[in-house]
Amino acid sequence: DSGVTQTPKHLITATGQRVTLRCSPRSGDLSVYWYQQSLDQGLQFLIQYYNGEERAKGNILERFSAQQFPDLHSELNLSSLELGDSALYFCASTTAPGTGELFFGEGSRLTVL
């Protein structure tokens, strides 16, 4: 158990809909990262938050948004969903200084029909 909690574990929805994925980082971790893992694209970095502020942005679509709340949990909002958004969405957290690695949640599997 990494200590990072993601909900829901599985989500099935229709095109055009909006979903919210939630992540609770490890206790004490200030940094939260979101990654998307599609079948054919490996793990793509979406966005990073540090103590409530956006720190870095990757290949995140404009239809997607995220935030980190004062209690350090984070939410990833996906709107106007398309079939191609079907993927496994991982949240990871870490602390600095630390040993460098990111600790991953079990992921949220999104299926868009």
Partner 1 sequence: AQTVTQSQPEMSVQEAETVTLSCTYDTSESDYYLFWYKQPPSRQMILVIRQEAYKQQNATENRFSVNFQKAAKSFSLKISDSQLGDAAMYFCAYRRSNTGKLIFGQGTTLQVKP
Residue of 15, 58, 69, 111 that binds partner 1 (CB under 8 A): 58
Contacts of residue 98, Cβ cutoff 8 Å, sequence gap at least 6: none
How many helices, marked H, and strands, marked E, lie in the chain? Answer: 0, 11
How many residues make contact with partner 1 (CB under 8 A)? 27
* Contact (CB, 8 A) for 94 and 103: yes
Residue 14 vs 99, nearer CB to partner 1 = 99
Residue 25 vs 107, nearer CB to partner 1 = 107
* Pairing between β-strand 64-68 and β-strand 74-78 as defined by DSSP bridges: antiparallel
Backbone angles phi, psi at 83, to 5 degrees: -55, -40
Residue 20's nearest CA partner among 79, 61, 70, 63 is: 79
Is 106 near partner 1 (CB under 8 A)?
yes
Residue of 21, 23, 31, 64 that binds partner 1 (CB under 8 A): 31
Is 107 near partner 1 (CB under 8 A)?
yes
Is 97 near partner 1 (CB under 8 A)?
yes
Structure tokens at 13: 């929805």
Name the residues that contact partner 1, by CB under 8 A: 2, 31, 33, 35, 42-43, 45, 48, 50, 55-56, 58, 88, 90, 92, 96-104, 106-107, 109
